[in-house]
């Protein structure tokens, strides 16, 4: 019997090829989209959750206060003195390590040199993260100052093999380090990534100033792992008391606190010292998107299956008259839709396999299908059962309950229950589609808005390269050679990149300062000559640093925002003081965008300091050809600084990268929004096709009686159009509310114009109408004789 039922099922599928294809591919595409999103969500979700201590590992966060004592911002930068104090004062801390933020540094095996992410850390780092050692001993790997732990891929790049224990590598062309360990590569979704790891004791050799514990320089991360069973809240309280007592701080605000490392990635947005979410909002968005798409696909599947099943009422009747029991019929229908769902799922997995690399490429991440863990498989099974049973359930239980006489007489042509349910499902489906279209448009507009926001700097043909090796001492030579080459119009040296300033400081004094204002946070950039000219900043008043004035070594430039903050009426010539040093304001420039294009920045002070470089900014002559220009720069850099590979980046690209997260959101919402619309229309098409087929006879009769093609098309389309109109009416307010909430996340944001709503609504209607009319036209122009002779 199973075999025969299977035959009936397969032949039924084959007979309705188009419908079956729509049904299966719709579900497969929906499911594949959902799985891809979920894989991505899992990737984000599992950030920093790999090590076995992940649950009890915390990062120490610093609350920076403004003049009124309120938290201005919270970040993971801590000072060198904090770690030892915690270690001595809080026994619940099992492991503690200070580490540097990673930086791209030179590492070489003889002539084989590369720029790789290098980090310094105290030995507990290896206990906190329990990396997998391929060779070497985690207990001793960081004991000697001049040692280094490489990741497997770093070892391979340098030596061509991972078997490199006790070999020597050269760091920054200065020091030879002995390889004391090789570890497996870190998962992509780790925040504390590195290519090679060096002991803190070596850091103190490189930068002897670190030995003096200080409370001013927030350039280090302090990680702790608590003893099992320790209460994080109580430990945080202890930390508060400890710091306040030691640093003579009063007031309710906690200056430092421990925050779970595994939450940093998703919940890393802080307001007034409290986590208020962060990337998690997008994760929820993706989950909703995944669920919605799956729902649309399942709805399609169910709609088509139930619609088609009504046609099979006769089959049920016949089978019942010749002896089928109800249970055998229920089983048949359930089995049939389960098989269909199963095939779709196989197809979906194949699709995921095929398109995952493309998605990785698009999002700039690396996920593979091994991220499919037990939960995902369980989820897939649940989807299979849910879709299969829901789609097969209606015919299985409803049709099989009928008296065979009724089904044979076709009295169950259309169950009113199933029609109403189907209408509700279609409305729901299109609600979601309209919601997606509106959201996609608004996200796109917001991205454009931010992109088009004036940067305040001229980034055209502007490139940056790290200042390292000989480029420190021979910077002037480098600059002269570049300018003489004719390929470059301007060059400057700065302490930080134009795009990322993170040198916050407070304690600046200016004429007329109030005592509270001493704690206002400023940002600083150290530079030499040609800062304004090279970066294309706009001077509001005064001038750039110039060699004509020897006194410029004690001069500063300030941003317009800084002038406003300091409330200076006539800023030029005013003297600023910080930490015993002082500078005279010689110029004021318009604010430009750094760190985040979404919000306004802290006031900026640019001071003159020859010894504080790190970054070289070069303005190429665009008319000479960028490629030739870069080649020239590269040649000159190699002559002066042969030990280092030359790395140049366009500042434009760096700005683009700042919008990474939103760009991802844009890509995903565009892509999956489009898919959702496609699947919805696929379902609509299938249903109209089905309903047209059901009414073939009616149409034939109407045509014989004189109905026009347009009449018939209307007849077929009106009810669907009505449903879509209802969906639009429901979806628009919901979309408005959600997107407004989303836009509030940005200090600079676009508004929602009425035309977006109009466009989305009209677009949905037009797409739906096209889908409908195609099928409606086809059946309306059919020869009425064909329709009537049927049966």
Partner 1 sequence: MIKIENLEKVYKTEEIETTALNGINLHVKEGEFVSIMGPSGCGKSTLLNVMGLLDKPESGSYQFGGTELLKLNDRERSNFRKRNMGFVFQNFNLIDELTVFENIELPLIYNKVAAAERKRLVNEIIERMNIVNRSGHFPQQLSGGQQQRVAVARALVTKPRLVLADEPTGNLDSSHGNEVMELLCELNEAGTTIVMVTHSSHDASFSNRIINLKDGHVISEKINKGRTEELI
Closer residue to partner 1 in complex, CB, 7/638: 7
Instruction: Judge residue 512's burial from the number of C-beta atoms within 10 Å of its C-beta, 0-12 exposed, 13-18 middle, 19 or more buried.
Output: exposed
CB 573: neighbour CB atoms within 10 A? 9
Q: Is 166 in the site for partner 1 (CB under 8 A)?
A: no
Place of tokens 């005013």: 574
Distance CA 578, CA 427 (A): 65
Q: How far is the CB of 318 from partner 1 (least distance, A)?
A: 5
Q: How far is the CB of 426 from partner 1 (least distance, A)?
A: 28
Instruction: Tell me the site size for partner 1, rule CB under 8 A.
Output: 25
- 158 φ, ψ to 5°? -75, -45
User: Rule CB under 8 A: is residue 413 a binding residue for partner 1?
Assistant: no
Would you state the structure tokens that stand for residue 261, as one six-digit string? 């490392």
Residue from 242, 362, 408, 659 that binds partner 1 (CB under 8 A)? Answer: 408
Q: Which residues, other chains included, contact 713 with Cβ-Cβ below 8 Å and sequence gap of 6+?
A: 773, 776, 777, 780
* Shortest Å, Cβ 304 to partner 1: 17
User: Does 349 interact with partner 1 (rule: CB under 8 A)?
Assistant: no
Q: Closest CB to partner 1 among 7 and 366?
A: 7
Q: How far is CA 382 from CA 31, 42, 350, in A?
A: 12, 18, 18
The tokens for 551 are 């006194």
The answer to whether the CB of 433 falls within 8 A of the CB of 765 is no
End-to-end CA distance of the chain: 29
To partner 1, the closest distance from the beta carbon of 323 in angstroms equals 3
Per CB under 8 A, which of residues 308..327 are in contact with partner 1?
314-315, 317-326
**Of 403, 448, 708, 753, which one interacts with partner 1 (CB under 8 A)?**
403
CA angle 280, 286, 288 (to 5 degrees): 105
What does each C-alpha distance from 659 to 130, 456, 457, 670 come to in angstroms? Answer: 33, 17, 17, 16
Asked if residue 786 binds partner 1 (CB under 8 A), the reply is no
Provide, rounded to whole angstroms, the least separation between the CB of residue 411 and partner 1.
12
- By CB under 8 A, residue 789 contacts partner 1: no
Beta-bridge mates of residue 177: 169
Binding mask 357-396 for partner 1 (x = CB under 8 A): ----------------------------------------
| Binding positions for partner 1, 256-315, rule CB under 8 A | 314-315
Residue 234: both structure tokens together:
């109580």
Nearer to partner 1, 7 or 139 (CB): 7
Out of 4, 111, 550, 705, point to the residue binding partner 1 (CB under 8 A): 4
**What is the C-alpha to C-alpha distance for residues 519 and 47, in angstroms, rounded to an integer?**
35
Neighbour-count burial for 677-714, b at 16+ CB within 10 Å, e otherwise: bbbbbbbbbbbbbbbbbbbbeebbebbeeebeeeebbe
Name which of 321 and 745 has its Cβ closer to partner 1.
Answer: 321
Residue 116 or 312 having the CB closest to partner 1:
312
State the nearest-atom distance from the C-beta of 697 to partner 1, in Å: 15
Query: What contacts 24+ positions apart, CB below 8 Å, involve 243-251?
Result: 243/85, 246/85, 246/89, 247/215, 251/69
**Span from 80-88, 253-261, 398-406, 748-756 in contact with partner 1 (CB under 8 A):** 398-406
- 88 near partner 1, judged by CB under 8 A: no
Strand partners, 93: 226
Q: Is 65 in the site for partner 1 (CB under 8 A)?
A: no
User: Looking at 260, 277, 393, 404, which residue binds partner 1 (CB under 8 A)?
Assistant: 404
C-beta of 361 vs 406, nearer to partner 1: 406
Pick between residue 15 and residue 547 the one whose CB is nearest to partner 1: 15
Report the SS3 class of residue 739: helix
Helix axes 660-694 and 326-363, enclosed angle (nearest 10): 150
Residue 161 has what DSSP assignment?
S
Q: Least separation, in Å, of the C-beta of 291 and partner 1?
A: 36
Q: How far is the CB of 408 from partner 1 (least distance, A)?
A: 6
Decide whether 3 or 52 has the Cβ nearer to partner 1: 3
Reference 692, options 592, 754, 774; nearest CA is 774
Q: Say if CB 421 and CB 310 are below 8 A apart.
A: no
Q: Which stretch binds partner 1 (CB under 8 A): 79-87, 371-379, 404-412, 461-469?
A: 404-412
Is the CB of 131 or the CB of 690 nearer to partner 1? 690
What's the min distance (Å) between Cβ of 328 and partner 1? 8
209 binds partner 1 (CB under 8 A): no
Task: Give min distance, CB of 392 to partner 1, in A.
Answer: 17
Least separation in angstroms between CB 785 and partner 1: 18
Contact status: 98 vs partner 1 (CB under 8 A): no
Which CB atom, from 7 or from 143, has the smaller least distance to partner 1? 7
Q: Are 608 and 553 in contact (CB under 8 A)?
A: yes
Burial of 170 (0-12, 13-18, 19+ CB in 10 A): middle
328 is a contact residue toward partner 1 (CB under 8 A): yes
Region of 87-95, 114-122, 397-405, 606-614 interacting with partner 1 (CB under 8 A): 397-405
Residue 173 backbone class (left: φ over 0; alpha: ψ -120 to 50; beta: rest): left
Of 336 and 530, which has the nearer Cβ to partner 1? Answer: 336
Interstrand relation of 522-527 and 604-608 (parallel, antiparallel or unpaired):
parallel
Name which of 489, 344, 485 is nearest 31 in CA terms: 344
Residue 673 engages partner 1 in binding (rule: CB under 8 A): no
Q: Find the shortest distance in angstroms from Cβ 370 to partner 1.
A: 42
Q: Least CB distance from residue 693 to partner 1, whole Å?
A: 14
Q: Does residue number 1 form part of the binding site for partner 1 (CB under 8 A)?
A: yes
Minimum CB separation from partner 1 for residue 10, in Å? 8
How many Cβ atoms from other residues are within 10 Å of residue 716's Cβ? 21
Interacting residue with partner 1 among 88, 241, 276, 405 (CB under 8 A):
405
Q: Whole-number minimum distance, CB 721 to partner 1, in Å?
A: 32
What is the secondary structure of 401-424 as a DSSP string?
GS-HHHHHTTTTSS-HHHHHHHHH
Q: Closer to partner 1 by CB, 21 or 729: give it.
A: 21
Closer residue to partner 1 (CB): 319 or 703: 319
Distance CA 66, CA 56 (A): 31
Beta carbon nearer to partner 1, 7 or 174 = 7
The two structure tokens encoding residue 236: 């945080």
* Maximum distance among all Cα pairs of the chain, rounded to whole angstroms: 108
The residues that touch partner 1, with contacts defined as CB under 8 A, are 1, 4, 7-8, 11-12, 15, 314-315, 317-326, 328, 403-405, 408, 791
């Amino acid at each position: 019997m199973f075999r025969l039922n299977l035959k009936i099922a397969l032949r039924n599928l084959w007979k309705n090829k188009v419908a079956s294809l729509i049904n299966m591919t719709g579900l497969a595409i929906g499911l594949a989209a959902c799985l891809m999103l979920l894989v991505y969500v899992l990737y984000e979700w599992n950030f920093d959750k790999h090590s076995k201590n992940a649950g009890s590992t915390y990062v120490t966060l610093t609350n920076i206060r403004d003049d009124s004592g309120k938290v201005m911002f919270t970040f993971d930068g801590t000072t060198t003195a904090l770690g030892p104090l915690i270690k001595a004062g809080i026994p619940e801390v099992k492991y503690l390590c200070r580490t540097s933020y990673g930086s791209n540094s030179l590492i070489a095996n003889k002539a084989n040199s590369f720029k790789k992410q290098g980090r310094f850390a105290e030995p507990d780092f290896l206990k906190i993260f329990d990396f997998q050692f391929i060779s070497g001993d985690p207990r001793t790997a960081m004991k000697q100052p001049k040692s280094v732990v490489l990741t497997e891929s770093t070892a391979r790049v340098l030596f061509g093999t991972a078997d490199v224990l006790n070999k020597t590598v050269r760091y920054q062309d200065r020091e030879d380090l002995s390889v004391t360990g090789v570890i497996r590569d870190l998962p992509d979704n780790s925040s504390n990534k590195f290519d090679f790891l060096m002991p803190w004791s070596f850091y103190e050799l490189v930068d002897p100033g670190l030995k003096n514990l200080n409370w001013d320089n927030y350039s280090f991360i302090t990680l702790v792992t608590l003893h099992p069973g320790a209460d994080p809240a109580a430990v945080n309280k202890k930390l508060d008391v400890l710091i306040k007592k030691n640093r003579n701080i009063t007031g309710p605000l906690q200056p430092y606190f421990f925050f779970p490392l595994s939450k940093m990635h998703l919940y890393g947005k802080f307001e007034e010292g409290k986590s208020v979410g962060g990337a998690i909002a997008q994760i929820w968005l993706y989950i909703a998107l995944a669920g919605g798409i799956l729902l649309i696909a399942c709805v399609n599947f169910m709609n088509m299956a139930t619609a088609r099943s009504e046609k099979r009422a006769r089959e049920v009747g016949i089978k019942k008259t010749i002896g089928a029991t109800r249970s055998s019929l229920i089983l048949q229908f359930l089995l049939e839709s389960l098989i269909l769902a199963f095939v779709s799922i196989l197809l979906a997995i194949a699709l995921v396999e095929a398109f995952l690399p493309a998605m990785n490429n698009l999002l700039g991440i690396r996920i593979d299908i091994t991220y499919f863990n037990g939960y995902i498989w369980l989820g897939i099974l649940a989807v299979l059962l849910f879709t299969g049973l829901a789609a097969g359930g209606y015919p299985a239980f409803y049709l099989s309950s009928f008296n065979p006489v009724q089904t044979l007489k076709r009295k169950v042509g259309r169950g009113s229950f199933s029609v109403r349910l189907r209408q509700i499902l279609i409305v729901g489906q299109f609600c979601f589609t309209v919601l997606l279209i509106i959201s996609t448009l608004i996200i796109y507009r917001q991205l454009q808005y931010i992109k088009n926001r004036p940067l305040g700097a001229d980034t055209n043909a502007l490139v940056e390269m790290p200042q390292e090796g000989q480029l420190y001492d021979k910077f002037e030579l480098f600059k002269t050679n570049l300018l003489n080459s004719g390929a470059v119009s301007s060059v400057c040296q700065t302490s930080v990149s134009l795009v990322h300033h993170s040198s916050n400081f407070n304690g600046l004094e200016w004429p007329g300062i109030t005592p509270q204002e001493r704690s206002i946070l400023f940002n600083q950039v150290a530079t030499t000559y040609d800062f304004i000219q090279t970066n294309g900043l706009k001077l509001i008043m005064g001038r750039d640093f110039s060699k004509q004035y020897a006194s410029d070594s004690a001069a500063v430039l300030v941003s317009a925002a800084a002038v406003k903050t300091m409330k200076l009426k006539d800023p030029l010539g005013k003297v600023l003081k910080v930490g015993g040093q002082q500078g005279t304001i010689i110029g004021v420039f318009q604010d430009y965008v750094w760190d985040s294009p979404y919000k306004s920045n802290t006031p900026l002070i640019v001071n003159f300091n020859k010894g504080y470089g790190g970054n070289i900014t070069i303005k190429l002559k665009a008319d000479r050809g960028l490629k030739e220009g870069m080649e020239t720069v590269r040649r000159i850099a190699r002559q002066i600084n042969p030990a280092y590979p030359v790395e140049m980046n366009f500042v434009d690209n760096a700005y683009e990268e700042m919008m990474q997260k939103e760009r991802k959101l844009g890509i995903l919402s565009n892509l999956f929004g489009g898919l959702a619309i496609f699947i919805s229309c696929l379902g609509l098409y299938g249903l109209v096709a089905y309903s047209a087929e059901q009414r073939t006879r009616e149409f034939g009769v109407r045509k014989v009686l004189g109905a026009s093609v347009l009449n018939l098309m209307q007849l077929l389309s009106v009810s669907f159009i009505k449903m879509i109109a209802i969906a639009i009416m429901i979806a628009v307010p919901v979309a408005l509310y959600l997107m407004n909430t989303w836009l509030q996340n940005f200090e600079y944001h676009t508004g929602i114009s009425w035309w977006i709503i109009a466009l989305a609504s009209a677009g949905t209607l037009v797409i739906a109408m096209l889908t409908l009319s195609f099928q409606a036209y086809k059946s309306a122009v059919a020869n009425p004789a064909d329709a009537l002779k049927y049966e």
